[in-house]
């Protein structure tokens, strides 16, 4: 019984240590980081739709520059989410911009072509990018 208590204590301490390290992990400044992968919104969604496991290995937690046509721009306070059109009618690439990009995002219109840079966090009906910045808009 004493050995089990010691093992539980050790596992608990390891859990606390890992949680502490993750909580204090430095935030990534996307604007200062180089792009790992550049591609179109259609290719990004197609890769996730065809093989999510392979796409997770390739894109997850990477700095992605994605080019596409804006379908929606949604504002929630100082937060902005931009959806990019893809060839798939049921999915898109959704980019959540940083607060610092709010002013620039108010100039983005539906139908406009943009290049956004952010961190890929995965796929749920849409591919999600966070901490995005606007690299180029036409």
Residue 12 belongs to some domain of the structure: no
Residue 37 belongs to some domain of the structure: yes
Output the six-digit token pair for 99.
């607060």
Domain that holds residue 87: 30-137
Residue 125 belongs to some domain of the structure: yes
User: In this model, does residue 59 exceed pLDDT 80?
Assistant: yes
Q: Give residue-wise pLDDT tens across range 39-55.
A: 999 999 999 999 999 99
pTM of structure: 0.78
Q: Give residue-wise pLDDT tens across range 93-136.
A: 999 999 888 888 889 999 999 999 999 999 988 999 999 999 98
Residue 133 belongs to some domain of the structure: yes
Collapsing DSSP to helix, strand or coil, 131 comes out as: strand
Residue 63 belongs to some domain of the structure: yes
Output the six-digit token pair for 70.
């804006």
Residue 117: what pLDDT?
96
Count how many domains the chain has: 1
> What is the rounded CA–CA span in Å between residue 92 and residue 60?
16
Residue 17 belongs to some domain of the structure: no
Residue 21 belongs to some domain of the structure: no
State phi, psi for 97 to the nearest 5 degrees.
-80, 155
Q: What percent of the chain has pLDDT over 70?
A: 96
Question: Which domain CATH number covers 37?
Answer: 2.40.50.140
Q: Report residue 25's pLDDT band, with 50, 70 and 90 as the boundaries.
A: low
The arithmetic mean of pLDDT across residues 6-15, rounded, is 86
């Amino acid at each position: 019984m004493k050995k089990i208590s010691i093992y539980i204590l050790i596992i608990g301490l390891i859990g606390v240590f890992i949680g502490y390290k993750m909580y204090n992990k430095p935030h990534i400044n996307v604007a200062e980081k180089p792009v790992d992968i550049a591609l179109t919104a259609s290719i990004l969604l197609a890769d996730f739709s065809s093989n999510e496991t392979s796409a997770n290995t390739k894109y997850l937690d990477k700095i992605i520059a994605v080019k596409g046509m804006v379908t929606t721009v949604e504002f929630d306070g100082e937060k902005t989410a931009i959806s990019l059109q893809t060839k798939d009618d049921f999915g898109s690439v959704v980019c959540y911009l940083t607060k610092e990009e709010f002013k620039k995002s108010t100039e983005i219109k539906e139908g406009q072509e943009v290049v956004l840079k952010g961190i890929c966090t995965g796929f749920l009906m849409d591919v999600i990018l966070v901490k995005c910045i606007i690299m180029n808009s036409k």
